[in-house]
Amino acid sequence: MIEIPSTVKLRLDGDALISNWQTLDRMSGSASAGAAIKANAYGLGSVEVVQRLQAAGCRDFYVANWQEAREIESHLEGGSCISVLNGVRAEDMPFAMISAAKPVLNNMEQVYRWQETGRSCDVMINSGMNRLGINPMDIARYDWSDLDIDIVMSHLASADEDVPQNEQQLEQFIDALDHVRGKRRSLSNSAGIALGKAYHFDCTRPGLSLYGGKQHAAYEKTIQQVAFPETQILQVRDLKIGDKVGYNAKYTAEREHPIAILAMGYADGYLRGFSNEGVFLSDKTMLPVLGRVSMDLIAVDISKAPDLGESDWVTAEYDLTIASRQSGLSQYELITGLGNRFTRYWA
Ligand SMILES: *Cc1c(COP(=O)(O)O)cnc(C)c1O
């Protein structure tokens, strides 16, 4: 088959990924940082991410479901663990019984189901987020001594905000730990690590900040961008005063200037919130997005880089803090939304 070179590429910075994990591991104090790699490592590619983080010393990996566990199982080194955050349904049991991964037990039905296997597991406590997890009442009522529990964990709902809920969840978690004991305890996601020592316990579970997310001021200077969406110019044209650009004519030229049409669009996850707000970069030169983002095309102003031409490459400004402000999307949506048309490459 003849290779067809892609018009959209996602450049992934392996050094930045490792530096981010080391930063989060260091900030976790005496606790060790794991890595949330659900949703294909937030869209970056879970196998590559696992291999790189293992080489740096990361040992605990968190996926959402058993399909994701299977994806990375054969890449685990000795001493590494996978936790399946969404738990174990009845229909997961045939695979779970032969898998190297362990379920995070989220309700009492899962506890009864898993207890019979005698295999290792984690336990999720509902400390007030009311998503998945066992309520403190049920934790206190049950005799956990027959289960082989590795991590007892809970999850913070608002770690990226300075609100009383963080401390309330911390207290609920500590109370519940009187009644259920595992080998290790874990509470914090990326933003939770920045809340300080009381939130660290034995292991932490960062996801977003590994991949460049900065949901806490402490990360603005230390966490580095990992994912850089790149695309090619398909056409260059000159606008005259009054010329309009794109669907519904959301940009009208007030001066004569050149524009470039790029081979990326909202089908790639560069959503319409970037219309008239986003920026692309050619080296350091900023190229503002003009008009609506289309499904497969974007127009940018190249007044400041008039030498750009067909087949040249440009990079989306995708610092997650900045891109979130431009688009109105969350940092999570920005990183997980990058689509399948991107050729992902590590550099
Ligand atoms: C996704 C997730 C994490 C990682 O959260 P980030 O905010 O991305 O750091 C940690 N723990 C649980 C239970 C999760 O679902």
pLDDT in tens, 96-119: 999 999 999 999 999 999 999 999
Q: Is residue 155 lining ligand 1, measured as CB closer than 6 Å?
A: yes
The ligand 1 atom at the shortest distance from the C-alpha of residue 160 is 7
Cβ atoms of 331 and 215 closer than 8 Å: yes
| 213-261 residue pLDDT tens | 999 999 999 999 999 999 999 999 999 999 999 999 999 999 999 999 9
**Mean pLDDT across 50-54:** 98
Mean pLDDT (whole number) for 26-33: 98
> Atom 6 in ligand 1: which residue has the minimum CA distance?
207
Compute the distance between CA of residue 7 and CA of residue 270 in angstroms, rounded to an integer: 14
**What percentage of residues in the chain have a pLDDT greater than 70?**
100
Q: Is the beta carbon of 226 within 6 A of some atom in ligand 1? A: no
Q: Tell me, what's the pLDDT at 104?
A: 98
**Can you give the pTM of this predicted structure?**
0.97
Residue 216 Cβ inside 6 Å of ligand 1? The answer reads no
What pLDDT shows up at residue 307? Answer: 97
The per-residue pLDDT for 335 is: 98
pLDDT in tens, 63-84: 999 999 999 999 999 899 999 9
CA angle 272, 275, 280 (to 5 degrees): 110
**260 by DSSP, 3-state: which?**
strand
- pLDDT tens digits for 254-278? 999 999 999 999 999 999 999 999 9
Q: Ligand 1 centroid to 207 CA: how many Å?
A: 6
Counting from 1 in the atom list of ligand 1, the atom nearest the Cα of 155 is: 13
What is the predicted pLDDT for the residue at 279?
Answer: 98
Is 152 touching ligand 1 by the criterion CB < 6 Å? no
Quote the pLDDT of residue 185. 98
Task: Quote the pLDDT of residue 146.
Answer: 92
> Which value, in Å, is the radius of gyration of the alpha carbons in the chain?
23
Q: Using an 8 Å Cβ cutoff, are 132 and 87 in contact?
A: yes
Atom 12 in ligand 1: residue holding the nearest Cα: 155
The band of 58, judged by pLDDT with boundaries at 50, 70 and 90, is very high
pLDDT at residue 189, rounded to an integer = 98
Q: Does the Cβ of 136 fall within 6 Å of ligand 1?
A: no
Residue of minimum CA distance from atom 13 in ligand 1: 155
Helix (H, G, I), strand (E, B) or coil at 116: coil
> Tell me, what's the pLDDT at 193?
98
**Tokens standing for residue 71:** 């994806």
pLDDT confidence of residue 159: 97
When the pLDDT of each residue in the chain is averaged and rounded to a whole number, the result is: 97
Give the mean pLDDT of 198-207.
98
What's the gap in Å between 274 CA and the centre of ligand 1? 26
Over range 178-201, report the average pLDDT.
98
- Could you write out the three-class secondary structure of 151-179? EEECCCCCCCCCCHHHHHHHHHHHHHHCC
CB 103 within 8 A of CB 121: yes
Distance 106 CA to ligand 1 centre (A): 15
Cα(38) to centroid(ligand 1), Å: 9
CA distances from 98 to 68, 91, 93, 292, 340 (A): 15, 13, 9, 50, 30
Instruction: Give 275 Cα–ligand 1 centroid separation in angstroms.
Output: 30
Question: What's the pLDDT tens digit per position in 107-166?
Answer: 999 999 999 999 999 999 999 999 999 999 999 999 999 999 999 999 999 999 999 999
Is residue 28 lining ligand 1, measured as CB closer than 6 Å?
no
Residue 73 falls in which region: left (phi positive, over 0), alpha (psi -120 to 50) or beta: alpha
For residue 295, the tally of other CB atoms under 10 A from its CB is 10
Q: Which residues are tagged catalytic?
A: 38, 247
The pLDDT value recorded for residue 258 is 98
20 lines ligand 1 (CB under 6 A): no
| Mean pLDDT for the stretch of residues 161-187 | 98
Verify whether ligand 1 is closer than 6 Å to residue 206 (CB atom).
yes
User: Around Cβ 263, how many Cβ atoms within 10 Å?
Assistant: 18
pLDDT confidence bin for 20, thresholds 50/70/90: very high
Gap between the Cα atoms of 36 and 83, Å rounded: 9
